Homo-oligomer: A and B are copies of this chain.
Amino acid sequence: MSLVVRNIPRAEDGVIDALAAFGVATVHEAQGRKGLLASYLRPIYRPCGVAGSAVTCEVAPGDNWMIHVAAEQCRPGDVLVVAPTSPCEDGYFGDLLATSLKARGVRGLIIDAGVRDIAVLTQMGFPVWSKAVFAQGCVKETLGNVNLPLVCGGALINPGDVIVADDDGVCVVRHAEAPAVANAARKREANEIDKRAQFEAGVLGLDLYKMRERLAEKGLRYVDEAP
Protein backbone atom coordinates (compact mmCIF):
# COMPACT_ATOMS: atom_id res chain seq x y z
CA MET A 1 0.00 0.00 0.00
CA SER A 2 2.83 2.39 0.83
CA LEU A 3 4.58 4.02 -2.08
CA VAL A 4 7.77 5.96 -2.68
CA VAL A 5 7.73 8.03 -5.86
CA ARG A 6 11.25 8.54 -7.16
CA ASN A 7 10.80 11.24 -9.77
CA ILE A 8 9.06 14.47 -9.03
CA PRO A 9 9.00 17.75 -10.92
CA ARG A 10 11.20 20.52 -9.57
CA ALA A 11 11.07 24.22 -10.38
CA GLU A 12 14.13 25.95 -11.83
CA ASP A 13 16.74 27.10 -9.36
CA GLY A 14 16.39 30.68 -10.48
CA VAL A 15 12.69 30.70 -9.79
CA ILE A 16 13.14 29.08 -6.40
CA ASP A 17 15.85 31.51 -5.38
CA ALA A 18 13.73 34.44 -6.47
CA LEU A 19 10.81 33.21 -4.39
CA ALA A 20 13.11 32.80 -1.38
CA ALA A 21 14.26 36.39 -1.73
CA PHE A 22 10.70 37.75 -1.90
CA GLY A 23 9.67 35.89 1.22
CA VAL A 24 6.41 34.42 2.44
CA ALA A 25 4.21 37.51 2.70
CA THR A 26 5.04 38.81 -0.77
CA VAL A 27 4.76 35.41 -2.44
CA HIS A 28 1.44 34.72 -0.73
CA GLU A 29 0.05 38.04 -1.97
CA ALA A 30 1.55 37.66 -5.43
CA GLN A 31 -0.29 34.40 -6.02
CA GLY A 32 -3.65 35.79 -4.97
CA ARG A 33 -3.56 35.39 -1.21
CA LYS A 34 -3.39 31.64 -1.12
CA GLY A 35 -0.98 28.89 -0.15
CA LEU A 36 -0.21 29.64 3.49
CA LEU A 37 0.32 26.82 5.93
CA ALA A 38 -1.18 27.18 9.41
CA SER A 39 0.31 29.83 11.68
CA TYR A 40 1.17 27.25 14.33
CA LEU A 41 4.12 26.13 12.19
CA ARG A 42 6.84 28.31 13.68
CA PRO A 43 10.57 28.44 12.97
CA ILE A 44 12.96 27.15 15.64
CA TYR A 45 15.22 30.18 15.18
CA ARG A 46 15.04 33.64 13.67
CA PRO A 47 15.85 35.21 11.32
CA CYS A 48 15.50 32.43 8.78
CA GLY A 49 14.41 32.05 5.19
CA VAL A 50 14.59 29.36 2.54
CA ALA A 51 12.81 28.09 -0.54
CA GLY A 52 13.04 24.69 -2.16
CA SER A 53 11.21 21.87 -3.89
CA ALA A 54 8.90 19.88 -1.66
CA VAL A 55 9.69 16.25 -0.97
CA THR A 56 6.63 14.99 0.91
CA CYS A 57 6.69 12.38 3.64
CA GLU A 58 3.71 10.90 5.41
CA VAL A 59 4.39 9.39 8.84
CA ALA A 60 2.39 7.45 11.41
CA PRO A 61 1.87 9.04 14.85
CA GLY A 62 4.98 8.54 16.98
CA ASP A 63 6.85 6.82 14.13
CA ASN A 64 9.61 8.49 12.12
CA TRP A 65 10.67 5.53 10.00
CA MET A 66 9.58 7.08 6.72
CA ILE A 67 11.79 10.14 7.22
CA HIS A 68 14.75 7.86 6.59
CA VAL A 69 13.06 6.64 3.43
CA ALA A 70 12.33 10.20 2.33
CA ALA A 71 15.91 11.32 2.95
CA GLU A 72 17.09 9.17 0.05
CA GLN A 73 14.68 10.93 -2.30
CA CYS A 74 15.98 14.39 -1.40
CA ARG A 75 18.32 16.33 -3.67
CA PRO A 76 20.23 19.55 -3.14
CA GLY A 77 17.77 22.42 -2.98
CA ASP A 78 14.87 20.42 -1.61
CA VAL A 79 12.76 21.11 1.45
CA LEU A 80 11.38 18.11 3.30
CA VAL A 81 7.69 18.33 4.25
CA VAL A 82 6.50 15.87 6.88
CA ALA A 83 2.94 15.33 8.12
CA PRO A 84 1.55 12.66 10.45
CA THR A 85 -1.62 10.75 9.61
CA SER A 86 -3.18 12.00 12.84
CA PRO A 87 -2.23 14.86 15.17
CA CYS A 88 1.06 14.24 16.96
CA GLU A 89 3.74 16.43 18.45
CA ASP A 90 6.46 13.85 19.03
CA GLY A 91 10.06 14.73 18.23
CA TYR A 92 10.31 13.07 14.83
CA PHE A 93 13.49 14.86 13.88
CA GLY A 94 16.76 15.77 15.58
CA ASP A 95 20.40 16.48 14.97
CA LEU A 96 21.33 13.16 13.34
CA LEU A 97 18.61 13.38 10.71
CA ALA A 98 19.47 17.04 10.21
CA THR A 99 23.10 16.10 9.63
CA SER A 100 22.00 13.57 7.06
CA LEU A 101 19.67 15.96 5.25
CA LYS A 102 22.22 18.77 5.31
CA ALA A 103 24.81 16.44 3.81
CA ARG A 104 22.35 15.85 0.97
CA GLY A 105 21.85 19.56 0.37
CA VAL A 106 18.38 19.79 1.88
CA ARG A 107 17.55 23.38 2.83
CA GLY A 108 15.11 22.87 5.67
CA LEU A 109 12.25 20.94 7.18
CA ILE A 110 8.55 21.69 7.50
CA ILE A 111 6.92 19.31 9.98
CA ASP A 112 3.37 19.27 11.28
CA ALA A 113 4.63 17.66 14.48
CA GLY A 114 7.52 18.07 16.91
CA VAL A 115 11.27 18.53 16.56
CA ARG A 116 14.13 18.14 19.04
CA ASP A 117 17.82 19.00 19.45
CA ILE A 118 16.94 22.53 18.49
CA ALA A 119 20.04 24.00 20.12
CA VAL A 120 22.20 21.92 17.79
CA LEU A 121 19.97 22.58 14.77
CA THR A 122 20.31 26.28 15.50
CA GLN A 123 24.10 26.02 15.66
CA MET A 124 24.10 24.00 12.42
CA GLY A 125 21.91 26.58 10.72
CA PHE A 126 19.42 23.95 9.65
CA PRO A 127 16.01 25.66 9.78
CA VAL A 128 12.87 23.82 10.88
CA TRP A 129 9.28 25.03 10.96
CA SER A 130 7.35 22.83 13.40
CA LYS A 131 4.18 22.58 15.44
CA ALA A 132 6.06 21.86 18.65
CA VAL A 133 9.46 21.48 20.21
CA PHE A 134 9.33 18.14 21.97
CA ALA A 135 12.00 15.53 22.64
CA GLN A 136 9.66 12.52 22.59
CA GLY A 137 11.36 9.72 20.66
CA CYS A 138 9.73 7.70 17.89
CA VAL A 139 9.44 4.06 16.90
CA LYS A 140 10.08 2.61 13.44
CA GLU A 141 7.22 0.19 12.76
CA THR A 142 4.68 1.64 10.34
CA LEU A 143 4.95 2.63 6.69
CA GLY A 144 3.66 5.76 4.97
CA ASN A 145 4.00 7.33 1.55
CA VAL A 146 6.81 9.45 0.15
CA ASN A 147 6.19 11.94 -2.63
CA LEU A 148 2.45 11.59 -2.79
CA PRO A 149 0.35 14.72 -2.17
CA LEU A 150 -0.40 15.39 1.49
CA VAL A 151 -1.96 18.03 3.72
CA CYS A 152 0.52 19.80 6.02
CA GLY A 153 -0.57 22.65 8.28
CA GLY A 154 -3.96 22.66 6.56
CA ALA A 155 -2.51 23.16 3.06
CA LEU A 156 -2.24 20.69 0.20
CA ILE A 157 1.39 20.05 -0.76
CA ASN A 158 2.23 18.26 -3.98
CA PRO A 159 5.72 16.84 -4.42
CA GLY A 160 7.75 19.34 -6.37
CA ASP A 161 5.70 22.34 -5.30
CA VAL A 162 7.90 25.18 -4.13
CA ILE A 163 8.00 25.77 -0.39
CA VAL A 164 8.85 29.27 0.78
CA ALA A 165 9.48 29.71 4.49
CA ASP A 166 10.75 32.52 6.67
CA ASP A 167 10.07 34.31 9.96
CA ASP A 168 6.45 34.79 8.92
CA GLY A 169 5.77 31.08 8.41
CA VAL A 170 5.40 28.82 5.39
CA CYS A 171 3.81 29.17 1.96
CA VAL A 172 3.40 26.69 -0.89
CA VAL A 173 3.54 27.63 -4.57
CA ARG A 174 2.31 25.12 -7.16
CA HIS A 175 5.12 23.86 -9.35
CA ALA A 176 3.44 24.97 -12.55
CA GLU A 177 2.67 28.42 -11.21
CA ALA A 178 6.09 29.15 -9.72
CA PRO A 179 7.52 31.21 -12.62
CA ALA A 180 4.40 33.34 -12.90
CA VAL A 181 4.27 33.85 -9.15
CA ALA A 182 7.92 34.92 -9.14
CA ASN A 183 7.10 37.50 -11.80
CA ALA A 184 4.07 38.75 -9.96
CA ALA A 185 6.12 39.00 -6.77
CA ARG A 186 8.77 41.00 -8.59
CA LYS A 187 6.17 43.51 -9.74
CA ARG A 188 4.61 43.69 -6.31
CA GLU A 189 7.93 44.33 -4.65
CA ALA A 190 8.89 47.02 -7.15
CA ASN A 191 5.59 48.65 -6.45
CA GLU A 192 6.19 48.53 -2.72
CA ILE A 193 9.49 50.40 -2.91
CA ASP A 194 7.71 53.52 -4.01
CA LYS A 195 4.95 53.06 -1.50
CA ARG A 196 7.44 52.63 1.32
CA ALA A 197 9.15 55.86 0.37
CA GLN A 198 5.85 57.69 0.41
CA PHE A 199 4.88 56.24 3.78
CA GLU A 200 8.29 57.27 5.14
CA ALA A 201 7.60 60.76 3.86
CA GLY A 202 4.40 60.85 5.87
CA VAL A 203 1.84 60.21 3.15
CA LEU A 204 -1.16 58.39 4.55
CA GLY A 205 -2.57 55.17 3.10
CA LEU A 206 -5.90 56.99 2.96
CA ASP A 207 -4.39 59.27 0.32
CA LEU A 208 -1.92 56.93 -1.33
CA TYR A 209 -4.66 54.38 -1.97
CA LYS A 210 -7.37 57.03 -2.52
CA MET A 211 -9.64 55.51 0.10
CA ARG A 212 -11.46 58.55 1.42
CA GLU A 213 -14.28 58.65 -1.07
CA ARG A 214 -15.17 55.01 -0.82
CA LEU A 215 -15.02 55.13 2.98
CA ALA A 216 -17.49 58.01 2.96
CA GLU A 217 -19.77 56.17 0.56
CA LYS A 218 -19.81 53.19 2.88
CA GLY A 219 -20.91 55.52 5.64
CA LEU A 220 -17.84 56.38 7.68
CA ARG A 221 -18.40 59.48 9.78
CA TYR A 222 -15.92 61.62 11.65
CA VAL A 223 -16.79 63.34 14.92
CA ASP A 224 -14.66 65.55 17.08
CA GLU A 225 -15.66 64.07 20.40
CA ALA A 226 -16.81 60.64 21.56
CA PRO A 227 -20.63 60.46 21.51
Contact = CB atoms under 8 A, between A and B. Distances in A.
Of A25, A42, A46, A218, most B-chain CB atoms within 10 Å:
A25
Nearest to A86: B136
Given A4-B223, A62-B86, A94 B25 contact: yes
Interface string A7-43: 1100000000000000111001100111010110010
A204 interface: yes
Given A6-B224, A69-B215, A135-B24, A91 B168 contact: yes
A154 B224 CA distance: 27
A179 interface: no
A206 B68 CA distance: 6
A192 interface: yes
Interface string A67-89: 11101100000000000011111
Of A6, A156, A205, most B-chain CB atoms within 10 Å:
A205
A86 B195 CA distance: 27
Interface in A112-162: 114, 116-119, 122, 132-137, 139-143, 147-149, 151, 154-156, 159
B222 A119 contact: no
Contacts of A151: 151, 154-156
The 7 closest A-B pairs by CB, nearest first: A61-B62, A68-B205, A39-B134, A141-B141, A100-B199, A99-B199, A25-B135
Interface of A: 1-8, 23-25, 28-29, 32-34, 36, 38-39, 42, 46-47, 49, 60-63, 65, 67-69, 71-72, 85-91, 94-97, 99-100, 103-104, 114, 116-119, 122, 132-137, 139-143, 147-149, 151, 154-156, 159, 166-169, 171, 192, 195-196, 199-206, 209, 211, 215, 218-227
